[in-house]
């Protein structure tokens, strides 16, 4: 099991200069993994990022930022195709940087919510399965796994539950299309965090360990012992990544309601979080 942190905790957007400063910092804190969001496709020089990550012997994943013009099931075909091109760009970036996991809500723009009839939802699920099947083939050729993330109801009306993600992933039926779960979203939507993890089972490729208020894991009311037991039950040995945000994250600040700091400092959030998670999951 590897313990990581998303650079959104400190900066937005991430670029090579910021990564050069953050990589040794997160290593010194005890992380052995770093997660890089792709907000704009021109923010980060991927070859420079790969060299920095190698220098500090860090594992790496990348995170898709689904903006309003990036949406795989949008009725506007231009927006839908732009979403496909963006995910392909992210897959290419992963291949250059050395990341095997690309994670995020790769279906619809964060913050887009809409009412659906059962028939409308079935249509959108069919469309998502079609588009993810195409992307999964491309990802597989590049050695990348897509981790599809359910979000809470305030950030999407489409995939909120592990069950809904499982339906899509099982229909795509490709080794490069799996699931990422995030305890922040699960804490809002799932009846039982442990049951959702166990149900996801071997489909779980990535895990975001986040507190109920996006503060340091272990500082709130997420049922962490239940989470730990469920991860053990499914023999999960993938990345466990803290994702929180500085209020400088303009790309999703409104959709994710990032209005204030969550701890005394961003360093405290990360340091307290990784210390807690290691004690919880390793002992």
Is 192 a residue whose pLDDT tops 80?
yes
Evaluate if residue 26 carries a pLDDT over 90: yes
Fold of 2-281: TIM Barrel (3.20.20)
The model's pLDDT over 78-113, given as tens digits with 9 standing for 90+, comes to: 999 999 999 999 999 999 999 999 999 999 999 999
Q: Can the peptide bond before residue 126 be classed as cis, meaning omega within 30 degrees of 0?
A: no
Cα-trace Rg, the chain = 17
In which band, very low, low, confident or very high, does the pLDDT at 250 lie, cut at 50, 70 and 90? Answer: low
Q: pLDDT value at position 137?
A: 98
Q: How far is CA 118 from CA 3, 166, 245, in A?
A: 40, 18, 35
pLDDT in tens, 120-129: 999 999 999 9
Prediction pTM value: 0.96
Give the pLDDT band of residue 257 (cuts 50, 70, 90). confident
> What is the predicted pLDDT for the residue at 78?
98
Say if residue 268's pLDDT is above 90. yes
Position 255 confidence tier, pLDDT thresholds 50, 70, 90: low
Task: Please state, in angstroms and rounded to a whole number, the distance separating the CA atoms of residues 206 and 224.
Answer: 17
- 3-state secondary structure at position 125: helix
pLDDT surpassing 70 at residue 204: yes
Interatomic CA distance for residues 1 and 237, integer angstroms: 5
**Cα dist from 90 to 37, 66, 221, whole Å:** 9, 11, 34
Distances (CA, A) of 87 to 106, 123, 178, 247: 8, 21, 15, 25
pLDDT band for 43, please (50, 70, 90 cuts).
Answer: very high
**Quick check: 42 and 16 in contact, CB under 8 A?**
no
The count of other CB atoms within 10 Å of the CB of residue 107 is: 27
Q: pLDDT exceeding 90 applies to what percent of the chain?
A: 93
CA gap 74, 81 in Å, rounded: 9
Q: Which tokens sit at 174?
A: 């490709």
Q: Are 189 and 159 in contact (CB under 8 A)?
A: no
Residue 169 near residue 150 (C-beta atoms within 8 A): no
Q: Cα separation of 221 and 218, whole Å?
A: 8
User: How far, in Å, CA of 214 to CA of 211, rounded?
Assistant: 5
Contact 102, 147 (CB under 8 A): yes
pLDDT higher than threshold 90 for residue 59: yes
- Mean predicted confidence (pLDDT) in 37-41: 96
- Which pLDDT does position 251 carry in this prediction? 63
The pair of three-digit structure tokens given for residue 202, joined into one six-digit string: 């071997």
pLDDT at 156 (0 to 100): 97
Catalytic residues: 149, 243
Query: Residue 60's CB: how many other CB atoms inside 10 A?
Result: 22
Q: Which residues contact 69 (CB under 8 A, 6 or more apart)?
A: 79, 82, 83, 109
pLDDT at 252: 64
Q: Which pLDDT score is estimated for 261? A: 77
Domain limits of the chain?
2-281
């Amino acid at each position: 099991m590897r313990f990581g942190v998303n650079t959104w905790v400190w900066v937005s957007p991430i670029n090579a200069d910021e990564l050069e400063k953050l990589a040794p910092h997160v290593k010194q804190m005890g992380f052995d993994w770093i997660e890089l969001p792709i907000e704009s496709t021109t923010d980060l020089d991927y070859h420079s990022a790969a060299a920095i990550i190698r220098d500090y012997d860090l594992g790496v994943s990348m995170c898709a930022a689904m903006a309003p013009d990036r949406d795989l099931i949008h009725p506007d075909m231009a927006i839908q195709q732009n979403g496909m091109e963006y995910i392909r760009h992210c897959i290419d970036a992963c291949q250059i940087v050395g990341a095997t996991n690309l994670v995020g809500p790769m279906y619809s723009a964060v913050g887009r919510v809409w009412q659906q009839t059962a028939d409308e939802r079935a249509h959108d699920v069919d469309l998502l399965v079609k588009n993810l099947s195409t992307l999964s083939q491309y990802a597989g050729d590049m050695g990348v796994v897509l981790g599809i993330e359910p979000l809470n109801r305030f950030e999407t009306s489409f995939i909120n539950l592990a069950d809904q993600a499982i339906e899509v992933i099982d229909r795509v039926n490709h080794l490069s299309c799996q699931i990422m779960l995030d305890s922040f979203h699960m804490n809002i939507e799932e009846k039982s965090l442990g049951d959702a993890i166990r149900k996801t089972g071997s489909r779980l490729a990535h895990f975001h360990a986040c507190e109920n208020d996006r503060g340091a894991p272990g500082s709130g009311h997420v049922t962490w012992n239940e989470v730990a037991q469920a991860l053990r039950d499914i023999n999960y040995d993938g990345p466990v990544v803290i994702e929180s945000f500085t209020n400088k994250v303009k790309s999703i600040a409104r959709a994710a309601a990032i209005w204030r700091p969550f701890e005394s400092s961003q360093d405290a959030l990360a340091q307290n979080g990784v210390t807690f998670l290691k004690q919880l999951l390793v002992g």
